[in-house]
Amino acid sequence: MNCIIIDDEETARVIIQQLCSQVDKLNVVQDFPNAIQAIKFLNKEEVDLIFLDIHMPDFTGFDFIDTLKNPPKIILTTSDKDFALEAFEYDCIIDYLVKPITLPRFIKAIQKAESTPAVSPSAASVEQATATSSAEENELYINIDRRLIKINIPTINLIEAKGDYVLIKTEKQNYTVHSTLKKVEEKLPDDLFLKVHRSYIINIKKIIDIEDNSVLIAKDVIPVSRSNRPELMKRLNML
């Protein structure tokens, strides 16, 4: 089983690594000091099992699980006994190991992981996912100072490239994020946003005025390149 370890304490990660090395069927793919790094990894990769600490700065283990749409099997590793009842409200959590973890207890948890079938979405969860899919499409999460901040996509006015960063301007607040304009563009709905310049993506619903080769959005005048102007004009509902 391919697995990852998430724990903010380096010593704890090393101990779990050592325990995993005692079980031939376990392959530790990666370990992470915080949940946000793990989320980025799981957006690209799949694993069979996660060893997860509950108490971590900024993002608790339960917060982490709540971000996963299809979580793999999870074994909680913690020094706190008080969350056992809450833990087993999650179908993906198959065991609860209290530190310090002994090898016999660890092996017992792995055996439970092997014998427990993978969690498959129930009819109710599939129906709920379908009902909420449109809402999820309107949400974008950005990483600011190790915090995941949710932005309602329709409230975005524009996105401006600034070197290795992008500036996301919303109706109420601006955010500077380490990313590329292309990466942000891939996350935005095509019917709402348009790249009008090599440095700008705009929300076409937020346009107040168009004059020559520029558009006005809120108080910002955005240049429109000659090559992108025809597509912009095509998108507008004109008399």
Name the CATH superfamily housing domain 151-235: LytTr DNA-binding domain (2.40.50.1020)
Distance (Å, rounded) from C-alpha 20 to C-alpha 196?
Answer: 52
DSSP 8-state symbol, 60: -
For residues 152 and 119, the answer to whether their CB atoms sit within 8 Å is: no
Contacts of 71 (CB under 8 A, 6+ apart): 50, 65, 90, 92, 119
| Per-residue model confidence as pLDDT tens digits over 172-205 | 899 999 889 998 998 899 889 999 999 999 999 9
- pLDDT on residue 139: 84
Q: What is the mean pLDDT of the chain?
A: 87
Per-domain boundaries in the chain: 2-115, 151-235
Judged by DSSP in three states, 217 sits in strand
At 126, the pLDDT band (50, 70, 90 cuts) reads: very low
Check whether the bond before 100 is cis (ω within 30° of 0): yes
Range name among 39-43, 85-89, 96-100 with the lowest pLDDT average = 85-89
CA dihedral 182, 187, 193, 194 (to 10 degrees): 20
Please state which CATH number belongs to domain 2-115. 3.40.50.2300
Judged by DSSP in three states, 133 sits in helix
- Spatial strand order of the sheet with 214-217 comes to 207-211, 214-217, 220-223
Judged by DSSP in three states, 40 sits in helix
| Per-residue model confidence as pLDDT tens digits over 140-181 | 888 877 778 889 999 999 999 998 899 999 998 999 998 899
